[in-house]
Chains A and B, each alone.
Chain A
Amino acid sequence: MEAKDTTATSSKIDPYLSSPSSTVSEGEFVLLIFPDKRQYFAQALKSQRGKSPSLKINKRSYSTHMLIGLSYGSVLELQKNSLVPLPEGEDVIPNHQDLSIDTEQPTDNTEANDNRHLVDSNTSQGLSIEELAKMRDDKDISGAEIVDKIIQNSSTFQNKTSFSKAKYIKKKQMKYQPRCRIVKCTSASVCEALFIKDARRIMNLREDSLGQILSYSNVTAGSKVLVFDTCMGLITGALAQRMGGYGSIHAVYTGMQPSYIDVIARFNLNFMEHNSIRWVHAGYLFHDEINTQEKLEGDDLDKIEREKVTWPCHLQPHTEKYLLKMESEKKRLEFLQKRCGRFARKLTRPTLDETFASLKDGKKCDSLIIASQYDPKETLTTLLPFLETSCPFVVFSEYMEPLLECFEMLQKEKLAINIRLSDTWLREYQVLPNRTHPNMTMSQNGGFILTGVKLCPIHGINELDEDLMKEIRAEMGTRRGGKKRKNCPRGGEENKLLKKKPSMR
């Protein structure tokens, strides 16, 4: 058993133990979340002269350098041309003096106003659209002032109930005094943001489904995981984050090269986490010839090439000449920077052959996760042999039908146990004094999940050794039973049960 040590002592030496920072560092991706659920990814970058600001919100561009060093959870106000950090304690919905209302106390039906005099018309606002637009463009008028003006010019405001006043103000504030919060990119927040943006691109993988995949697959620090993920790399990134750089994630990809770098970058993975992801080309697994061969054909050319390189990759004479001829130091620097980065990545990257070998040889995988657009049944059949027995697998699909086929196959061929097909029902609530209710909108589809535990292919069918079985039966003195059982080696009792209950797992 491991010695009882807490994280503090050895963190300076062991790079695995560095704790995540609570402030935004340079280069990091963050999410800016507005109270109306709009979400934007932003990368905190030092302002680079000549380059346009990187973040676009409401058709305006903002520079993101001011995010560097801010605490996660801080609130920003979107002003005319900058994001302004607000002091601690400010909320994304500003406090407003007109809201000294009694929403905090339980109302005893003495609400002075109700909707009886409400007239639905567009004439209640005294300010014209043009006037509003002018105020918005005016640098000297703040968002808060616009909101106040709108309230003053509303003929119906004073007759509203306190709840509708609050709602009205909130609506105007979201529009004219927009604020957002800096949220850390975690598996949950990244998944939610992508789901809101375009659920179909991530195969309708809702946050709760991703959370379940990570738990049901039993991944933990040090696991060896095999994942086939066509949800833009969302699962792969989430796995890397969950495992903290310990263990290895063999991620299957198709096409010429893994195309999920974009989404994986959103997770701000550190080196170990990045390095725990090993890309395996699907051809290695699904091409009959390669998969069944004992040894790969031919030399690993990538490996040969890599081993020629030594750090820091001294310059070839012609490169040296070329560099010395360069006019500016700056250009030289840029060239070398790119070159070193390229070599560093190359040197630390395993070749495809090496990755496949590490998947195939040695320890089998502790978890198998499939969430791909390809036929789940075929995928599962091909990948299941790489999984250690009694280890869990999870198959996710946008549709239920492909999972039914998998379910049937697993059950019929006795490949797995504890098989479960499920989806989730998720409802969010607004919990406020006297205003608690389910949210207006509710997502109806977060995808379907099939999970199970792999059975031992030999011992799963033929339990005790033959000898021991004979012994037992001899003791019992019932020859007939023994003979009968030989005819149906899979166990008559079990088959009967299966027939009775078609879905017994």
Chain B
Amino acid sequence: MDFAKKLTDYENVTTKSGVRILETKKDVDENDEKAKLENLLLEQANKAASDLFLGSGSRLFSTIKTLSEDSVVRDKDHLIDAKLYPTKLLPPSSIIEAGSLVVIFESFDSLNFVYATPGEVFHNKNGHFHHDDFIGKPYGCKIRSRNNRGFGFLYLLRPTPELWARSLNHRTQIVHELDSAIVIFNLNIRPNMVVCESGTGSGAMSHCIMRAIAPHGKLHTYEFNQMRAHTAKEEFKRNGVDHLVDVHWRDVCGKPSAESTSNDGRETKEGESLTFGSGGFDIGPAAADAIFLDLPEPWLAIPHAAHTIKPNGGLCSYSPCMEQTQRTCQAMRDYGFHSLKTIEVRLREHYVDEVELEKVPTFKLPRDMNVNNYVPGQSVSPVPSNNGESGPEAKDMEVDTNKKEEETKDSKEVKEPVSKKRMLGCRPFSNMRGHTAFLTFAKAGNKSYPDPLKE
């Protein structure tokens, strides 16, 4: 995943501009108008540079001023230099290398993934695909199977959190891409933020959050199921995103009861880094910019969230049931959260079809064909003659209409291009994909809450 990569610096015009904060001259003669003007220019230049780089009314600028007045040796870091602002770009990566994570696109509903490993083969119903054929190819290419005379094919795609969520093995219900997009957007998750999430589940949401907090943010993800916490940790490492995440094997709802202490500090079987803990997010008070809860009993985690979240930080809870949502909303209000907003959002997907609309046939029935004589269940019968008997005349009629129909058919074929209208049409999928849930957003108040475990 691209966001896992270390950004590389690119020089750009800004870095060459030379706009920076300059030192003003001291001991200017009161009567030297020119020197005074020069200093005025420097001051204003500094103000302009400071406004530009740091925003108007920035505090940093005043620090510099006071420092110079006291003639203290200046901290060089305070001289904001344009060179500190290079463009930081992701390194290009369009070629699949050994070890690269590759999303395998079989069809819209069937995605898979592999880590390209020389010598290995990916099998599916369409054939055998050799990893050696993947390596060196660009992402986005089509690969043919080595068996089946090369008729089987698949596409190799660059992984994104969305494609990952669709291709991974769902160990739990996951947050689908629409919901995750809305959550990250509404929580205003941005680079270098600290975010908490529970439970980790299959890690689908985790990857989306990490994309938004890269390159120096931190996701703390909490899961009380040891297997899941462990698998997620391994997966994050394999996907190269472990520098953005700490996996905590922990019950975030845990009440401060005797039962939890017996669990505390329980080592994992492998004796590795994960140890069990209980009760809330153990990263200290007012530490998280945003918190996302996808738990069966989110209201139990709210007192902990109130302690961990920064003032005015965003909280979101994702629950399929209205009863859960109601209890959670109440807990949020009790713990100083405000601006509550509960929404339900669903994706309507559409097929696009090429539609050909035929014109309504315009041929005219002969005048004496009476519609009222139509008898349900019988094929359209010839029109009876005046005296109610079906005579030879009527039979002739039948032949006649047939002939006419044939004629019109013929003529229609000739006119075909005119009588058919071609257009693109769209039609919604008959079923909505994914499952739905209520999303509740809230903002933390500015009051701080003590750690519920220590009360």
Contact = CB atoms under 8 A, between A and B. Distances in A.
Interface string A61-85: 0000000000111100000000000
Interface in B174-215: 177-178, 180-182, 184-186, 188, 190-192, 194, 208, 211-212, 214-215
Given A7-B216, A366-B90, A426-B343, A453 B311 contact: no
A19 B311 CA distance: 13
A142 interface: no
A354 interface: yes
A459 B141 contact: yes
Given A15-B85, A214-B185, A469 B144 contact: yes
Nearest to A481: B149
Interface in B119-159: 133, 137-144, 146, 149-151, 153, 155-158
Contacts of B149: 472-473, 476, 478, 481-482, 485
Contacts of B84: 14-15
Interface residues of A, number: 143
A326 to B, nearest CB: 10
Interface residues of B, number: 128
A323 B37 contact: yes
B438 interface: yes
A406 to B, nearest CB: 9
Interface in A448-473: 453-456, 459-461, 463-464, 468-469, 472-473
Interface string A290-313: 000000000000000000001111
B140 A453 contact: yes
Contacts of B340: 431
Contact of A460 (B140, B311, B353): B140
B23 to A, nearest CB: 11
Nearest to A44: B57
Contact of A343 (B48, B144, B177, B445): B48
Interface stretch (B7-15, B247-255, B269-277, B363-371): B7-15
B28 interface: no
A407 B186 CA distance: 29
Interface in A152-187: 181, 183-184, 186-187
Interface string A351-392: 100100010000110100000000000000000000011111
A114 interface: no
B18 interface: yes
A16 B192 contact: yes
A350 B14 CA distance: 7
Nearest to B349: A422
Interface of A: 1-7, 12-17, 19-20, 22, 25-27, 71-74, 88-89, 91, 181, 183-184, 186-188, 207-208, 210-212, 214-216, 218, 220-224, 241-248, 268, 270-272, 275-276, 310-315, 320, 323-324, 332-333, 336-337, 339-341, 343-345, 347-351, 354, 358, 363-364, 366, 388-392, 400-401, 404-405, 407-408, 411, 417-418, 420-433, 436, 453-456, 459-461, 463-464, 468-469, 472-473, 476, 478, 481-482, 485, 491, 493-494, 502-505
9 contacts: A19-B192, A27-B57, A88-B447, A224-B89, A311-B19, A320-B34, A340-B49, A390-B140, A422-B347
